[in-house]
Structure formats: C-alpha cells, structure tokens
Chain A
Amino acid sequence: NAGVMQNPRHLVRRRGQEARLRCSPMKGHSHVYWYRQLPEEGLKFMVYLQKENIIDESGMPKERFSAEFPKEGPSILRIQQVVRGDSAAYFCASSPNIGGGNTIYFGEGSWLTVV
C-alpha cells in the first residue's frame, strides 16, 4: 500500500516561472491537505481539498497560489510567477475521512528553490 506520493522531490525555478507540485494521496483517501514549511519554521496549513472541491483555503496566499484535486489524477499545487520567498518545502497529506482525530499521512515533500 503505497504512501502519499509527491513529485517532484526537488524543483528549481527562476524568479517569474511557474512551479507545479503533484500529490497522489494514499489509496482510499479522498481528503488532501497542503502544508508549507519555511526554513526554521513549523509546517503551516495552506489548503484542504476533496475531490473536485476546495474545502478550506484559509492558509493560501491570496495571489499566485492555486490548488486543485480533480476527479481523476493527482492534486496539484500551482505557484505562478515564483519569487525567492516561495522557496520552501511543500508537504502534501491525506486522510480517509474527517472527524474523530483521524491520522493524516504526510508525503516526503517537494523542495522548491527559487533562484
């Protein structure tokens, strides 16, 4: 049973380019979360999605960032016109359902470096 799969693991982008990070949740999981980890910081919640729906995007920057979780295929976190401050580790997590303190399972992360 494969875990949460993220790719690419490492991505280098020049300022102004676009970054696309992909996440395939664990089998049977329909809830996906994206977190960002800045250097020397803990993880910060960005967005929570179910298939074809954004449920909570309270942690997403207002501009340049978007996320989707289509009916088929992985969840995508898209960052347009990247800036140096976007350099961080982006973690995807998934859970089978909600409520009751379910464990959410994290992927190994995608490290974005903006040069």
Chain B
Amino acid sequence: AQSVTQLDSQVPVFEEAPVELRCNYSSSVSVYLFWYVQYPNQGLQLLLKYLSGSTLVKGINGFEAEFNKSQTSFHLRKPSVHISDTAEYFCAVSPSPQGGSEKLVFGKGTKLTVNP
C-alpha cells in the first residue's frame, strides 16, 4: 500500500516570500506523483505531476517540485508567493503506474496562507 505524509498542516508566509510545502511518500513500487491545489469550496486543480525523466517539474502559477527518490520526497516550491496563492495544497501518488486505474492516494493537505 502507498501512503503520503504532508509534514505541515499549515504554512503562513508573507507575500513575495519563498515557500516550500513538504511531501513524503512510501511505496514498494514506482509511483507517479502529483500536487493539486484546492481553493475554498472548489474542486481540485492539478498544479504539476512527475511521471519520469527530469526530477525537477515545473507547473502552473510559478510552482515547481523536485522528486527525490532516495528521500522519497516530492516537495513543492515557489520562489515568490502572491496573496492569490492562499489555498490548500494536496500531494498525491498514483499506486498503479503501469495500468489498472488512476486511483490516487492523497496526503492530508497543507493550508498555505499568504499574508500582506
């Protein structure tokens, strides 16, 4: 079975500061990794995903994430945040990369609050 741990439930930062949201996973097989963002009372929107290849993945809204296989981590970063980045961020893994379904296992989420 796969599991995802998001180490920080809440991250407050000031506008234009850099931010890192941490995500670790456990799995006995290779996985695909995803970050989703959820704005209040809305569905989830894909920020970025890692399937293979370069370990540094760039996504939408200036976010990027780095896959570290030895540390089983997939931390999300942004060099300068905006007020509009205030949302909840979810890390997820897909436990069936070779077929089956796209069933995702999610972490509990990190609430990012960007203050002026």
Q: Which residues of A contact B (CB under 8 A)?
A: 4, 31, 33, 35, 40-45, 48, 55-56, 91, 95, 98-109, 111
Q: How large is the interface on B (under 10, 10 to 19, 20 to 34, 35 or more residues)?
A: 20 to 34
By the criterion CB–CB under 8 Å, are B108 and A41 in contact?
A: yes
User: Known: A56-B103, A106-B43, A108-B42. Contact between A100 and B51, CB under 8 A?
Assistant: yes
By the criterion CB–CB under 8 Å, are B104 and A98 in contact?
A: no
Q: Which residue on A lies nearest to B97, using beta carbons? A: A101
Residues of chain B lying within 8 A (CB to CB) of residue A31: 101-102
By the criterion CB–CB under 8 Å, are A101 and B49 in contact?
A: yes
Question: Of residues 86 to 110 in B, which have CB atoms within 8 Å of A's CB atoms?
Answer: 90, 92, 94, 97-109
By the criterion CB–CB under 8 Å, are B32 and A101 in contact?
A: yes
Q: Can you offer 22 A-B residue contacts whose CB atoms are under 8 A?
A: A33-B102, A33-B103, A41-B108, A42-B90, A42-B108, A44-B106, A45-B105, A98-B101, A98-B102, A99-B100, A100-B51, A101-B49, A101-B51, A101-B94, A102-B102, A103-B46, A103-B49, A106-B43, A106-B44, A106-B45, A108-B42, A111-B41
By the criterion CB–CB under 8 Å, are B102 and A104 in contact?
A: yes
Could you tell me the dominant secondary structure of chain B's interface residues?
loop
Q: Which residues of B contact A (CB under 8 A)?
A: 4, 6, 32, 36, 41-46, 49, 51, 90, 92, 94, 97-109
Not counting A99-B98, A105-B46, a sample of 15 additional A-B residue pairs whose C-beta atoms are within 8 angstroms of each other reads A4-B43, A35-B104, A43-B106, A44-B106, A91-B44, A95-B102, A98-B101, A99-B97, A104-B104, A106-B43, A106-B44, A108-B43, A109-B41, A109-B42, A109-B43
